[in-house]
Amino acid sequence: MKSIFEKSIINGMSLNNRLVRSATWEGMCEADGRPTERLASCYRDLALGGVGLIITGYTFIRPDGKQMPGKMGIHADDFAPEMQHLVTTVHEQGGKICIQLVHAGGQTDARNAGSMPLAPSSVKVEQYPGEPREMGREDIREIINVFGAAAGRAKSYGFDAVQLHAAHGYLINQFLSPHTNRRADEYGGSVDNRCRFLLEVYRRVRSEVGPAFPLLVKLNGSDNLAGGLDIGDAVFAATLLDSEKIDAIEVSGGTSASGEKTPVRTKIDRPEQEAYNLGLAREIKKAVQCPVMVVGGFRSIGVIDNALGAEGMDYVSMSRPFIREPRLAERWLRGDKAPATCISCNGCFKPGLKEGGIYCVVDRKERKPKE
Question: Which residues does the annotation mark as catalytic?
Answer: 170
For residues 359 and 346, the answer to whether their CB atoms sit within 8 Å is no
Per-residue DSSP letters for 284-299? HHHH-SS-EEEESS--
CA distance 233 to 229: 6
CA distance 194 to 188: 5
In the three-class reduction of DSSP (H, G, I as helix; E, B as strand; rest coil), residue 228 is classed as coil
E-assigned strand segments in the chain: 8-10, 13-15, 19-21, 53-55, 59-60, 97-102, 118-119, 133-134, 161-166, 215-220, 248-252, 292-295, 315-318
Per-residue DSSP letters for 36-88? -HHHHHHHHHHHHTT-SEEEPSPEESSGGG--STT--B-SSGGGHHHHHHHHH
